[in-house]
Homo-oligomer: A and B are copies of this chain.
Amino acid sequence: MDICKPTLCIDERIARENIRIMAAKAARLRVQFRPHFKTHQSVEVGMWFRQAGVTAITVSSVSMARQFADAGWNDITIAFPLNIRETEEVSALAARIKLNVLFDSPEQAAALAKVLKQAAGFFIKVDTGYHRAGVLPGDRETMEAILSVAAAGPLDFRGFLTHAGQTYMAESPEAVLQVSRESRARLEGLKEVYSGRFPGLITSTGDTPSCSIDDDFSGADEIRPGNFVYYDLMQLRLGSCRFGQIAAAVICPVVSVYPSRNQALIYGGAVHLSKEYQMHPDGSKIYGLAVPFTGGRWRLPEGEDYMVSLSQEHGMMRAGSRWAASLSPGDLVAVIPVHSCLAADLLKETVTFLAQ
């Protein structure tokens, strides 16, 4: 492989296996599997899901919904509260595919009801503790207002949806399970209250940590994990995956080496990896983990070879291991990103698939 600049490499075998495992788990636990495509944003990776039997997907923007509708997906949930400045585009999409949107305020429902020509589904987005978006589980007044306003348009109430993103702050797999369980219980409680009036309601949940670690999805009718297709350092730390399940790395050229400070400069910066970081126990920041890249594959870590700072194009690597200390200008290193969704977004145009 002739890599000259930072290039996102996806290990197809690992990614397909991640998809297979999650699809099998959903089938075994009898939940609908509606994977989130915001992580890969790739029509080609989408095909791997399709080949694993997936027919319904999640995206995080109207543009992404259009991209995948154009690629032949016709059952899409936009898991982002409706942006009322995009109601025309949403309405056009609803005429083409089976579309679900999210409301967490009556203003959103009213704006869409006004312009929508063909039927669309909607979920009430519920805030089960992440406090990013959503109606609080006890705020029935807002829920009733949404339901009442939505009834003015061709909008079908599908159920309650949450993203328990607080699992990312969990400090142990047990804490992830705790959050996951509480979050599902809240949705289930709402479903019990409303399913008399709206038979067929479902509950939808499922961040990657919960879906990877938990083995009990009771209370959930649908899961929407996304990151698991690639995983990353964040998930490794949370216990969602093993190193061997990580399917994405950014391959970067070594530009210069500085043995006196045990560092190497790589071509790979904030515009390739993003500035997402995690904390090293010693209090320093980690912007990625550098591992060998030989024979067209990345390998197990040799030691504590971290990206310690990033500027726009430059990445500074702490060369702690013997392997890292032996690097020369022109060599390649694989950087496992802290957050693969952001690296994949930044490097959409340079993605390379490692053959199976």
* Chain A residues packing against B (C-beta within 8 Å): 3-5, 38, 60-63, 80-86, 89, 104-105, 107-108, 111, 131-133, 136, 165, 253, 255-257, 260-261, 263, 265, 267, 270-271, 274-276, 309, 311-314, 316, 328-330, 341-342, 345-346
Contacts and interface: CB of A to CB of B under 8 A. Distances in A.
A131 to B, nearest CB: 7
Given A4-B89, A83-B255, A105-B329, 12 more contacts: A3-B85, A4-B85, A5-B61, A5-B83, A38-B312, A80-B255, A85-B330, A111-B329, A132-B309, A133-B314, A136-B260, A165-B311
B345 A86 contact: no
Contacts of A4: 83, 85-86, 89
A25 B271 CA distance: 31
A63 to B, nearest CB: 7
Given A5-B86, A267-B80, A341 B312 contact: yes
A136 B263 CA distance: 14
The A interface, classified by DSSP as helix, strand, loop or mixed, is mixed
Contacts of A132: 265, 309, 311, 314, 316
A190 B255 CA distance: 24
Nearest to A269: B60
Copies assembled: 2
Interface core residue of A131, A133, A274, A329 (most chain B CB under 10 Å) = A329
A136 B256 CA distance: 13
A219 B329 CA distance: 31
Contact of A108 (B62, B256, B260, B275): B256
B314 A253 contact: no
A179 to B, nearest CB: 16
14 contacts: A3-B85, A60-B313, A80-B255, A83-B267, A84-B253, A84-B330, A85-B253, A105-B257, A107-B328, A108-B255, A111-B330, A132-B314, A132-B316, A275-B276
Given A309-B132, A312-B345, A342-B312, A107 B330 contact: yes
Contacts of A63: 5
A238 to B, nearest CB: 16
Nearest to A4: B85
